[in-house]
Amino acid sequence: MKRRNRPAAILMIAILLFTSVVFPAFAQNGANTPSGDVNGDGRTNSRDARLALRGAARIETLSAEQTARADMNADGVLRSGDARAILQIAAKTGAYHEMVVRGSNTGTKNTYTGYESLPEIHYTATDPNNKKGLSKKTVNHSFGVAKNGKVHSISYESQKFFDEKGFDAVTYDNKTEKKVLYLTFDCGYENGNTGKILDTLKEKGVSAAFFCTLPQVKSAPELTKRMILEGHIVGNHSVHHPNFTKISAEKMAQELEEFDNYLRRYFGYCSSYFRYPEGAYSEYALSEVNSHGFRILFWSIAYEDWNESNQRGADYAYRTVVSRLHPGAVILLHAVSRDNAAALGRIIDEARAQGYEFRRLTDLP
């Protein structure tokens, strides 16, 4: 998209508006970070800026118009260049918003977790008429089969596309120069394996992310409670599991909002991570979901594990996953797979034996 220039005065007005309108509310939900080092890694960089930007977009009182003012370079896309301008404000105000938020731990009986309920949020379609002219063509996420400890070229190109287009989406971690892995599960419904998976993760001391649909959360609240209290991330996988390229921006907002608010109300919890149902997306859908403050998680390792009638045994699951490990991998496993539940401990042990470290999504650059 072609960049449009605006007078410096307009830019200054946008910054002043963010300073006077956004971040005073923002600071109520954040913490003091006078250096701008939002993620506490000792550096002030674009990752800190993205956190500041994302937090601003999630404030309940923030309108779509105010969020749009974050587009400092006026090219129609929120990207690191815009984020750096926001970071200057964040560093001065000491305001940011966590990717994972929990209510006060009072032991209340009004939520499953004992955390106080969080304020509900309202999402409004940011660009319902697609004035940016983004492509609505359906893309089914592809990742390839990684071999010999190297990311597949398809995953490489996928991440390159997101980075170059300025979308906050992750196929794999291409920035950390260490052997790191991110373990994620998709949970569309419960069939008795999620508890076993949680038991193994607790035994091995590994934090994972569970992308749940709302029916899964409602049908198994005790499992969702365990995920949260045992230090895992519960990500938004929508309410009805629709293909996001086939629904309107208003419907996208509704899917995100209903899931988010249920966790806020009954678990005192919310997170800013989202995974598309079916892995189907478009540039327009990426832009809309990002505009609501969500970081989108895809994957670089997966296999056909979701078919309950075609489970091939724990050894197959173990060999398949271990053979595809590579630095920065985002692993997608389905919690309905009894093979995954049985093989998970061995997968974790072998990955560590190969020098890999399991990290949380909040550690992503």
Q: What is the pLDDT of residues 169-179, one digit of tens each?
A: 999 999 998 99
Rounded CA-CA distance 95/86 in Å is 11
Average pLDDT over residues 87-92: 46
Would you say residue 1 has pLDDT above 70? no
Average confidence score pLDDT of the chain: 82
Does a structural domain hold residue 62?
A: yes
Q: What torsion do the CA atoms of 42, 81, 209, 321 make, to the nearest 10 degrees? A: -100
Does a structural domain hold residue 109?
A: no
Would you say residue 82 has pLDDT above 60? no
Which domain, by its residues, includes 23? 8-98
Rounded CA-CA distance 108/63 in Å is 32
| Adjacent-strand bridge partners of 269 | 102
Same domain, 293 and 355: yes
The pLDDT value recorded for residue 54 is 52
Would you say residue 91 has pLDDT above 70? no
Would you say residue 52 has pLDDT above 70? no
Q: How many domains does the chain have?
A: 2
Residues written for the chain: 365
Would you say residue 312 has pLDDT above 70? yes
Same domain, 14 and 156: no
- Which of 98, 118, 152 lies at the terminal end of a domain, its last residue? 98
Rounded CA-CA distance 99/234 in Å is 11
What confidence tier does 181 reach under pLDDT thresholds 50, 70, 90?
A: very high
Would you say residue 26 has pLDDT above 90? no
Q: Which residue has the higher pLDDT, 91 or 112?
A: 112
Q: For 221-272, what is each residue's pLDDT tens digit?
A: 999 999 999 999 999 999 999 999 999 999 999 999 999 999 999 999 999 9
Same domain, 159 and 269: yes
Give, as one character, the DSSP assignment of residue 184.
Answer: E
CA distances from 356 to 125, 132, 162, 325, 350 (A): 40, 41, 25, 9, 9
- Give the Cβ contact number of residue 304 at 10 Å: 10
The pLDDT value recorded for residue 286 is 97
- pTM attached to this predicted model: 0.77
Does a structural domain hold residue 126?
A: no
Would you say residue 164 has pLDDT above 90? yes
- Give the Cβ contact number of residue 207 at 10 Å: 17
Asked if 91 contacts 35 with a C-beta cutoff of 8 angstroms, the reply is yes
Would you say residue 78 has pLDDT above 90? no
Same domain, 330 and 219: yes
Asked if 51 contacts 99 with a C-beta cutoff of 8 angstroms, the reply is yes
Q: For 107-132, what is each residue's pLDDT tens digit?
A: 999 999 999 999 999 999 999 999 99
Instruction: Say which amino acid occupies 110.
Output: N
Average pLDDT over residues 176-184: 96
What confidence tier does 307 reach under pLDDT thresholds 50, 70, 90?
A: confident
Asked if 332 contacts 301 with a C-beta cutoff of 8 angstroms, the reply is yes
Percent of the chain past pLDDT 70, that is, above it, reads 73
What confidence tier does 28 reach under pLDDT thresholds 50, 70, 90?
A: very low
Same domain, 237 and 304: yes
Does a structural domain hold residue 341?
A: yes
Residue of 54, 64, 302 whose CA lies nearest to 182? 302
Average pLDDT over residues 133-143: 97
Does a structural domain hold residue 35?
A: yes
Would you say residue 335 has pLDDT above 60? yes
The pLDDT value recorded for residue 39 is 45
Q: For 189-231, what is each residue's pLDDT tens digit?
A: 899 999 999 999 999 999 999 999 999 999 999 999 999 999 9
Known catalytic residues are: 186, 334
Does a structural domain hold residue 115?
A: no
Does a structural domain hold residue 123?
A: no
Same domain, 266 and 156: yes
